[in-house]
Chains A and B, each alone.
Chain A
Amino acid sequence: MVADTQALPLAGKRERTLGRLGVRLLAALPLILLVLLLPAKDDNFSHVAAYAAIFVMVGLSMNVLTGYTGQISLGHQAFLGLGALTGANVVSSGVHSADPFTFALGLLIAAAASGGAALILGAVALRIRGLYLALVTLVFGSVFSDTIFTLPSLNGHDAGVPAYRPDALATEYRYYLFALAMVLVCVYVDVWVRRSKVGRGLIAVRDNELVAQAFGVNVLGYKLIAFTISGAMAGLAGGVFAFWEQAFSDKDFLSVAGFNFALTFVVMVVVGGLANRGEVIAAAVFFALVSPLSPLLPWVADHTHWGTFYGNNKFYISNVIGAVLLLQTIVMNPGGLGQVIGPFDSWFGGKKFTLHDPDGDAGVGAMEDSSVRA
C-alpha cells in the first residue's frame, strides 16, 4: 500500500482508492483504443501518429532535463538530429531494407551518441544558470548542427542518407506501433527516474543546490546524469525520426528548421507543465500536430483550400500558437496543463471541485525554481 502511493507519478494526488483506480482505467480505455485504432485508418494517419510519438519522446527527454532538473535546453534539436544522423548512417547500405539487428543497433548507437553529446554539453554548462545556460545551449545547438550535420561524408553529400526500415516495420502502421513501443521505453525510464532516488536528487538540485548537497546529492554529477538521460532519449527519438522519414536530411535540423524544433521542445514542456509527465505527453502530441514538418497541416490545407496560406506561413503557425500558449501558461497557470486539469482530475476521483489546491501545485514550484524563468 505504502509502495503504491509512493509510486504515483503525479505528486500531490496520493490518496488513490481502488474505486478511483477503476474509474481511471475505464476512462483510459477509450484513450488507449483511440491511440491504437485511429492511426490504423490509413497510411497518412499512421504517419502523423508516428511523428507525434517522436515528439512525445522528445517531450519526455525535456521533462527529465527541464522538468525535473530545471536546466533549460535550447539546443535539443542537435540531439534529435545527431540521433537521426547516427541511426541513418549505421544502417545506410544502399539496399532497400535494413536487417533488424543493424536497425536495433542503429537506434542504440543513436541514443548513445546523443547521450554522449549531451554529457559534453552538460559538462560545459555545469556551473551556468538561467539566461546564460539558455544562451550556451542555444549556441551549442546551432553550432553543433551547422558543423556536424553539414559534413558531406555524414549527410550523404547533401543528398540525405537513406534510412530504410526492416521489412517487418515496412508499413506505416507497423512503424507507428514500433514508435509507440519506443515511447513506452522512454515512459518507463521517466517513471523510474521519478520514483527513485535519481528523480528526487534531480528535483533537489532544481529547487536548492545547497540543500541537495546537504542531503548527499552530488549536484554536478546529477546534472550530468540529467543531461545524459535527456540526450539519450532525444537521440533515440532522433533514430526513430530518421526511419520515420526513411532518410536523414540535414535540412531538418539546420537554421530556422532546427531552431524552430528547439523552441517548440521548450514550449511544449512548459505548456504541458514542468515535471508533469502525462501533461507533457499531451502537449507534445499537440505541438507535433501543428509543427512545420507535421504531415497533418498540409492535409488540412489540401482539404480546406488553405494551401497558399499554409505554404507561406508554415514556420510561423506553430510559433504563434506556441507563443500564445506559453504566455497564457506563464501568466495564468505556471503549473502548466497539469494545473488546469488538476481540479477536474481530483473531482473525477471523488473529491470536491476546487480551483485552489490546498497542498500547492508541484508544477508551480517547478516553474519557480527552474532556469526556464531565468
Chain B
Amino acid sequence: MSVLEVTDLTIRFGGLTAIDGLNLKVDEWEIVGLMGPNGAGKTTAFNCITGFYKPTHGRVFFKGNEVTKVPPHRKAAMGIGRTFQNVGMVKSETALENLLTAQHTRAGYGPLQAISGSSVVRQRERDLVAHSEVILDLLGLSAIRDKRIGALPYGTLKLLELGCALATDPDVLLLDEPSSGMGPEESDELGERLLSLRQELGVTMLLIEHHVPLVTAVCDYVYVLNFGKLLAEGDPESIRNHPEVIAAYLGGEAPEALEQTELPQDQQELAEATS
C-alpha cells in the first residue's frame, strides 16, 4: 500500500494554475524525488499535501485514507512531517528547544495538565529531552544543543531542521530542498545520511531537490514537474537523460548550457566592480 498518494491534484491562484492534474505515489520505504525548474509548483505541491493550501480539486491519500481537507497540524500529528525551503524552525529558541517543540504531538499530556506541573508532565518532559538528545547525537549536532539557532550557519540549520522533522515522528517525510546551502561534499554526506535514516528509522521520504548527484544517489523514483504539469517520471537514471527534462531545466540548448558555470550574482557584481 502506498503511504502517500496524490490523484489529479489541481490548484489555481486566481487565473494562474499552479499545479495541473498531478498524480503522484510514494510507497513505503521509498525515497521519491520531486524535481522541476523554479516556479514549477514543487513547493506548492508540498503545501497541498501537507494541508497549508487547499487544492482546487484532486485528492490526497495518506495510508489509504483521504486527508485532502485535514488541517496541517493534524496532518503533522498523523505522521506527515515536512521541512521548509527557507529553514522552518523557531528562531528565538535553542536547538534543544526546537526539537522539544517539534515533539509537540508526542508530549502525551494536555494543556491543563501541563499547567498543573504534575509528575506525569515532569516525567514526559524528561523523556522528550532524552529523545531530543538521541536525535542530536544521530545527526552529530550534540555540540549545538544549547545554542540559539539564530546564530548558527545555514548548513547546520538545514540539518537541525531535518532533525526537527524527524522529531515529529513522521511516517512520511517531505523535505523541501534539504541540500540547499550545502557544498558538494556536504550534500554527498546528506545523501548517505538520508539513506541511513531510512535504514534505521524506516522513514519514507519525498524530497524536492535540484542537486542531480544527490537525487541519483538516494531516490528510487523521480517525478519532474514543469509549469505545474507532470513532465516525466521514472527512475533517476532515465530522468537524467530524458530530453524534455533537460530542455525544461536548461531551456533547449542543453549541452552548452550544461557546461556553463555561472557565478552567483554578488560575485558577478564584485568582479565587475573590481575590473
Contacts and interface: CB of A to CB of B under 8 A. Distances in A.
Interface of A: 2-3, 5-6, 11-12, 14-15, 188-189, 191-193, 195-198, 200-201, 203-204, 207-208, 210-219, 225, 229, 358-360, 362, 364-366, 368-369
Contacts of A362: 92-93, 148
Interface string B146-190: 111011000000000000110010000000000000000000000
Contacts of A364: 92
Contacts of B74: 216, 218
Interface of B: 50, 52, 71-74, 76-77, 81-84, 88-94, 96-97, 100-105, 107, 109, 111, 114-117, 121-122, 125-126, 129-130, 133, 146-148, 150-151, 164-165, 168
Nearest to A357: B148
B150 A196 contact: no
B157 to A, nearest CB: 12
Given A196-B114, A214-B81, 12 more contacts: A3-B122, A192-B116, A195-B125, A196-B117, A200-B90, A200-B93, A203-B90, A207-B91, A214-B88, A215-B104, A218-B71, A218-B74
B101 A203 contact: yes
A26 B77 CA distance: 45
Given A12-B94, A203-B92, A359-B148, A215 B114 contact: no
A219 B73 contact: yes
B101 A215 contact: yes
B102 A2 contact: no
A192 B114 contact: yes
B125 A200 contact: no
A338 to B, nearest CB: 12
A12 to B, nearest CB: 6
22 contacts: A5-B146, A6-B129, A12-B148, A14-B94, A188-B117, A189-B115, A192-B121, A193-B115, A196-B114, A196-B117, A197-B100, A198-B111, A200-B93, A203-B92, A204-B90, A207-B91, A210-B52, A214-B50, A214-B76, A216-B73, A219-B73, A229-B115
B125 A3 contact: yes
Contacts of B93: 11, 200, 203, 207, 362
Nearest to B102: A215
A197 B110 CA distance: 9
8 closest residue pairs by CB, A with B: A365-B92, A196-B114, A216-B76, A216-B105, A213-B72, A192-B117, A197-B107, A211-B88
A219 B90 CA distance: 14
A354 B29 CA distance: 50
Given A195-B125, A207-B92, A200 B150 contact: no
A200 B92 contact: no
Given A195-B125, A229-B115, A362-B93, A2 B130 contact: yes
Contacts of B97: 11, 200
A153 B82 CA distance: 55
A215 B105 CA distance: 8
Nearest to B87: A211
Contacts of B91: 207-208, 365, 369
Nearest to A222: B111
A34 to B, nearest CB: 27
A190 to B, nearest CB: 9
A5 B71 CA distance: 34
Kindly name the residue among A192, A195, A197, A229 whose own CB sees the greatest number of chain B CB atoms within 10 A.
A197
A196 B119 CA distance: 12
A208 B114 contact: no
A198 B125 CA distance: 12
Nearest to A207: B90
A193 to B, nearest CB: 6
A195 B147 CA distance: 18
A225 B112 CA distance: 10
Given A3-B125, A3-B126, A359-B94, A216 B104 contact: yes
A213 B71 CA distance: 9
A15 B72 CA distance: 36
Nearest to A219: B73
Contacts of A11: 93-94, 97, 148
Contact of A359 (B103, B116, B125, B151): B151
Contacts of B107: 196-197
B117 A214 contact: no
A191 B122 CA distance: 12
B130 A213 contact: no
A229 B165 CA distance: 29
Kindly name the residue among B84, B103, B117 whose own CB sees the greatest number of chain A CB atoms within 10 A.
B117
Nearest to B100: A200
Contact of B104 (A6, A197, A207, A360): A197
Given A3-B125, A213-B73, A365 B150 contact: yes
A2 B126 contact: yes
Nearest to B50: A214
Given A197-B107, A215-B104, A215-B164, A359 B92 contact: no
A189 to B, nearest CB: 5
A4 to B, nearest CB: 10
B52 A213 contact: yes
B57 to A, nearest CB: 23
Nearest to B151: A360
B123 to A, nearest CB: 9
Contact of A200 (B104, B115, B130): B104
B5 to A, nearest CB: 21
Contacts of B129: 2-3, 6
Given A2-B130, A192-B121, A358 B151 contact: yes
A360 B164 CA distance: 21
Nearest to B101: A200
A6 B109 CA distance: 17
A33 to B, nearest CB: 27
Nearest to A195: B125
